Amino acid sequence: MSVRSAAQLRAVGAIGEQAAAPGSDVVARRRQQARRRQLNVLGLRLLLAVAILGGWELGSRSGVIDKFFWSLPSDIGATLWRWVTEGTELGPLWDQVLTTLEETVGGFIVGSVLGVTFGVLLGRNRLLSDVLSPYIKAANAIPRVVVGALFAISLGLDIKSKIATAAVLVFFVVFFNAFQGVREVDRNLVANARILGADNRRLTTEIIIPSALSWIVASLHTSFGLALVGAVVGELFGATAGVGELIYSAKNNFDAAGVFAGMALLAAMALVAEALITALENRLIRWRPPVATETRI
């Protein structure tokens, strides 16, 4: 269950308490129904996981699925456990996760800052954007993961080349969103601020950027995933540590369980990051009306 829906349920509960006097039995029944539904969803989710993992396990054990290529959940679990308890082929597991995390977060920050800066700059300056737009479109059309190869040559095999690769992937997504966000600023708001006496600097910091912020923050969800892709691809082009490198070496050993275990680690990292970004979003965009809650009584 997401953080937001939990907050909504709590809000519904609070309204129910205020209205306790006249229709309290209706409210209590509704609340009970909501709780039951929540449990149902949770149960179904668990059931789905058990069905998929169980089917996979049984399929591999009975030989329907080739376990050399597709491994099986218990082997993957055992590999993860071995990594946690004994360390990986490349050293302690924590070091690999931390390495990839550093590369991802580094690329994410560098790419976002550059993306927002250039997006706002070009969004505010018509001439600059007209001059640069064909080049940006061309650069955007290139499959950008290949720049990882370039960076591996020019920046070496340490963290710099991975951060650069991740930053390039992040940059374009954030840039286009920031640019669009600036272009879509309500003209009435700009006119109002100018009448109230705002100069150009105030206009940018107090009107343009806050207004574009909902676009920018929305793009951060996608771009963190892309930063992770950039870091892992960078590691595949050559590295000495990291989850991507872990997957690469498992591949070289025909160790399917190792590949899957690495994937599971990446998924867990992405999920944690997603939760953090959602928290950031709720903090930054407090002024936005909350999503309509279901309070049918």
Partner 1 sequence: MASAIQLAGVTKRFLTPSGGVYTALRDLNMKVEPGEFCAVVGPTGCGKSTTLALISGLEPPSEGEVDVFGKPVSGIADGIGYVFQTDAVFPWKTVLDNVAAGPRYHGATAREARERARDWISRVGLTGFEDRYPYQLSGGMRKRVALAQSLINGPRILLMDEPFSALDVQTRTLMENELLNLWSASSASVVFVTHDLEEAISLSDRVFVMTAGPGTVKANYKVELPRPRNVAEIRFQPRFVEIYEEIWKDLRDEVLVSYERQKRGAA
86 makes contact with partner 1 (CB under 8 A): no
Q: Which residues contact 150 (CB under 8 A, 6 or more apart)?
A: none
Considering only residues 13, 73, 87, 210, which one is a binding residue for partner 1 as defined by CB under 8 A?
210
From CA 183, how far away is CA 164, in angstroms rounded? 28
Gyration radius (Cα) of the chain, Å: 25
Considering only residues 192, 205, 253, 293, which one is a binding residue for partner 1 as defined by CB under 8 A?
192
Residue 189 token pair: 């708001």
Binding residues for partner 1, rule CB under 8 A, total 23
Long-range contacts of 47-55 (CB under 8 A, 24+ apart): none
From CA 297, how far away is CA 95, in angstroms rounded? 53
Identify which of residues 180 and 214 has a Cβ nearer to partner 1 in the complex: 214
Identify which of residues 101 and 193 has a Cβ nearer to partner 1 in the complex: 193
The region of 52-60, 61-69, 136-144, 287-295 touching partner 1 under the rule CB under 8 A is: 287-295
Considering only residues 207, 236, 257, 259, which one is a binding residue for partner 1 as defined by CB under 8 A?
207
Helices and strands (H, E) in the chain, number of each type: 13, 0
Identify which of residues 152 and 213 has a Cβ nearer to partner 1 in the complex: 213
Residue 191 beta carbon to partner 1: minimum distance, rounded to whole angstroms:
6
From CA 169, how far away is CA 144, in angstroms rounded? 7
Give the residues lining the site for partner 1 (CB under 8 A): 186, 188-189, 191-199, 202, 206-207, 210-211, 213, 285-289
